[in-house]
A and B are shown apart, each in its own frame.
Chain A
Amino acid sequence: MTSVIQVRGVRRVFSRGWGRPGAVAVAEVTFEIGAGEVVCLVGAAGSGKTTLLRLVAGTLRPSAGIVRIAGATGHSDPRRSVGFAARDPAFPPGFTVREVLVYCASAHACGRERDAQVRDALEATGLSDRATHRVARLPLADGRRLLVAQCLLGGRRILVLDEPFAGLDVVTRRDLSDRLQRLVVTGGSVLLSSADPVGLERLADRVLVLRAGRLVVDAPATALLGGRVLEVVLDVPPREAPPGFRLTATGLEADLGGRTAESALAVCRAHRLRVRASRVRLKTLDEATHDAAEVAPR
């Protein structure tokens, strides 16, 4: 797979002034993103996700390391290849959806080419019927769609999206997710961040987990999602969990790994725990990333 984004040993330190040591937002991060790949960057608030996205998008310069976009050198403008959508939609007041896109597209093209870019972006994001709506009255979901539409202007195929699903309901999330997948099918690449990876299973090819500015996990989503979890509801939860289990609000929980559910339940019985009910389910992405981040070296 051809890599469209290469990040090598990138570090970003924010100066605090007056000779005080700077705050390290991103430390020695290295990864690559291939064409047609959707990579999800997850981590707690303040872990450096937005800073890393801005470094990739070229709106921030790294203190050290290299960010290379589609084989370009450091002198070319990354804004021509990478579309970046910030977390919070911000559009000029009084403008309509189409006028916002025309304004943004004017930096890429003019005349008919500009109008074609605007039309394509409206269609790709499902905003064609809202083109004449004022941006100030747009619901959050359409605001996020408009942010993605802006990213597509100028024929850009690399999208860097900061929390594109934040605050969206399930239906809108699914719709936006499908539209991003359609873009990827046609050769685009997406790097998106999320503080809450719930529901990204369908979209993400790879998951990067950031903790305190460091990349602690870089794994295919399928590898993270393969695990099965045994949930056990107990009459009386124990004070300490048996080996291989962890306490939950209603009882115990264990990653099955290679074990069978019966062998795991046998452990419960051996510890004289009265099992009321049990079930096996697949690990969700948020559990998988949480667990992966927990076991990663600090």
Chain B
Amino acid sequence: MAREAAARQMLFALRREVARIEGTLAERLALPPAVAGGGSLIRHSGIVHDVSPDFIPTGVPRLDERLNGGLPGAALTEIHGAGMRAIGAVTGFVLALASLALQRNASGGPLFWIGTEDGFHEGGIPYAPALLKDYGIAPERFILSRTRKIEDALWVAGETAKLKAVSVLVIEIRGNPARVDLTATRRLQRRAAHTGRPVFLVRQSAEAEPTAAPVRLLLASAPAGLRRTISGPLAGSIGPPAFQVRIDKNRNGLPGQFLLEWNPQTHSFHERPEGHAAENNGIVVSPSRHGPDHAPAAGALMAFGETEDGSPRGEPAGEQYTAHRGARRAG
């Protein structure tokens, strides 16, 4: 029996190695409740597989499930922004992922952010105080590389991707330059797999192209949540940032769409539940027709399709609406 288990383990290790060389994720595995604590997973056929170093769990169960346990920790991940205006959201989301990766990485290596001069001119430079406050990334762990030409940026990226000492690598590229093609992404993907470290390729206002990255996410910004105070959410305030994430490509998982909120205090993601939509102004999908209508206080609504007084789902009840319609501004 023991011998059989050892043989299976070896077989599985080989399979993983093949998967790593091919640049694919290891086979999808379901997590049985019994072994959840041990950090290893058992497949249907009963093969033990240690999953921990290969994934960065986002902390959102539904998203992790779609991604087979989290974002690949040793691969290239492409993150597309919906147009140039989403650059804030994309940056925030990538930094959040980097923060999660850095939390998991005990070696204390730096975050290397590579971009071109015109990209930083267009979108601004990552600002160190916010990195520290909202994402827990100390300025000492942040290295910025700015080059004039895209070729140079790719060279820097390629060289940096070889280093094991760099914990997270972010490459920011605008548009669809010819140099960033399948070959380039393949190179990055292979190096990321070899060094066992995530590489995020941020594409600003780019079309989706063939890519070697196993996962491609599409990002759009979403209205922020409300600030939480002791007496419930503070109406009209701009709280934790929210992101609309769509899984655009997922080699062994399923596509899906999610609305995530980043908690700057605990440095973790959580999914905004459906019922809380009202709390967040109700304009998650499309903007409100009435302009800055402010959300009612928490607890006034139930997270069900129909409220007791029959108002449509996701919108405040009539009396509540009038009660809170007066403009209120924080500060």
Partners in one complex: no
Interface residues, chain B, with chain A CB atoms under 8 Å away: none
